Amino acid sequence: MTRVLHTADTHLGYRQYHSTERRADFLDAFRRVIEDATDDGVDAVVHAGDLFHDRRPGLSDLLGTRDVLETLSEADIPFLAVVGNHEAKRSAQWLDLFEAMGLATRLGEEPTVVGDTAFYGLDFVPRSRREDLEYGFAPHDADHAALVSHGRFEPLVPDYGNVEWDLEAVLESASVEFDAVLLGDEHAPTKQEVTGAWATYPGSTERASAGERDERGYNLVAFDGDVRISRRGIETRPFVFVDLDLAEGEGVERVHDRLREHDLERAVVHVSIEGDGEAVAPARIESFATDEGALVARVTDRREFEAADVDLDVSFGDPDAAVEERIGELGLSDAARELDGTIRAGSVADSNVAEEIERRVGELLGDPDAFESAPESDDATGDGSGAGAALDGGVADDPGTESADGVVDDAETTDDAGATDDAGATGGGGNAVEPETAGDDGDGDDTPLGPDADGKGQASMEEYL
């Protein structure tokens, strides 16, 4: 028998709500999963993609991941993984780095055999490139075979009308017959039998959006004649969800009363308001919640109110000036600035831009000084004439966790295939993340090295092009 822990969508490095504490929460959740794996003595940990939240994780995220994977390595438990859409780079992947360190195995077309089971990998592939895939895998001599992949595969995922991948077609085209498909990308746990194979998503290990209300956790998958899938929860930071339907005459005090019913200490609080009650100021409610001890508070008022008549004097700045200002802040080299000018000037036909850039790069490579970083612009703060509009006129408690030995459902019978459908209805689908304000992209450390990962103060040519 081979028994593995199946996890995915850890999104390490996600600075959700611009909060360093939330960033640490994602690493803590991953650490708990790995601790459970070592305590249980599983044969392997299988990660189905989106280990990191984006393709440029901060140094602290990389070091934290290394430390966690080292504990797994010390227990002689292999870490098998594929690349997800959030972390995918153009060439070498972060997973390759950990593989070179002896801490991970990147799955692919060749089988990686653990016990009596052969594991294969299929990294995330954009929809536009899937028609060219042949799903050819090398043969194996193991008793069982499992495919690990990242993407939104139908029929398991809710039909959002975006980037679904036909799992039935994949299995029918594959050169290997699979007993199980261990997936990532869908943040709500689910499982279903497809073309004779059990396919499952474990869900994310931390809440990456307000729609992910169910407990977080992972799967335990056993290969022993049949495939058995069970789910186990993990402890995460509490989220408090308060859904209000304000009656006529009710307002902010009613919201405060509802919040007082909950323990908000260090919790993430989400308040959703509907109904015919008075208009409320979200900032006032958020301040009340944080004063009561909440780590973060967010308010969504779904009602529509007629806007007051206010005369606004709106003027727009020069977008090109704003771009130049931002380029000055980046400290790009002369070479990078010249290439930027070529791209934006409009003097080169669109169809010839790539060829012209390639020609200029070849010329510039003969002048190393051209790649030296430029000093930051002295007027980086601007004079108020940016590209933005200038306006004159003013204006549930944590669901808890399952016990360590709690097994929710078993995949041996087809009757429970839809047992986790309710979890999928919470809106935790795909790789969705919290729709925060601009800039909450979670890429890089809190004290970034610079526009690129090498800390030299200039964007790499790969990132620039």
Q: List the catalytic residues.
A: 86
Distance (Å) of CA 142 to CA 6, 137, 146, 186: 19, 14, 11, 29
* Residue 9 marked in a binding site: yes
Q: Which residues make Cβ contacts (< 8 Å) with residue 37, sequence separation at least 6?
A: 5, 45, 72, 75, 77
φ, ψ of residue 429 in degrees (nearest 5): -85, 150
Three-state secondary structure call for residue 125: coil
Categorise residue 329: left if φ over 0, alpha if ψ from -120 to 50, beta otherwise: alpha
Three-state secondary structure call for residue 135: coil
* Residue 416 marked in a binding site: no
- Least Cα distance to 13 among 440, 359, 374 occurs for 440
Three-state secondary structure call for residue 417: coil
Three-state secondary structure call for residue 227: strand
- Least Cα distance to 120 among 102, 136, 101, 96 occurs for 136
Pair 245, 274: CB distance under 8 Å: yes
Query: And the tokens for 53?
Result: 């939240």
* Residue 11 marked in a binding site: yes
Task: Report whether the peptide linkage leading into residue 368 is cis, meaning its omega lies within 30 degrees of zero.
Answer: no
Q: Report long-range pairs for 71-74 (Cβ below 8 Å, ≥24 apart).
A: 71/34, 71/35, 71/38, 72/34, 72/37, 72/38, 72/45, 72/103, 73/102, 73/103
Query: And the tokens for 333?
Result: 């080299």
**In angstroms, rounded to a whole number, what is the distance separating the alpha carbons of residues 172 and 194?**
10
Q: Which residues make Cβ contacts (< 8 Å) with residue 204, sequence separation at least 6?
A: 8, 9, 10, 11, 187, 212, 216, 428
Three-state secondary structure call for residue 199: strand
**In angstroms, rounded to a whole number, what is the distance separating the alpha carbons of residues 30 and 27?**
5
- Cα torsion through 363, 367, 372, 378, rounded to 10: -80
Three-state secondary structure call for residue 241: strand
* Residue 47 marked in a binding site: no
Vertex 249: Cα angle to 244 and 255 (nearest 5):
35
Bind-site residues for Mn(2+):
9, 11, 50, 85, 150, 187
Bind-site residues:
9, 11, 50, 85, 150, 187
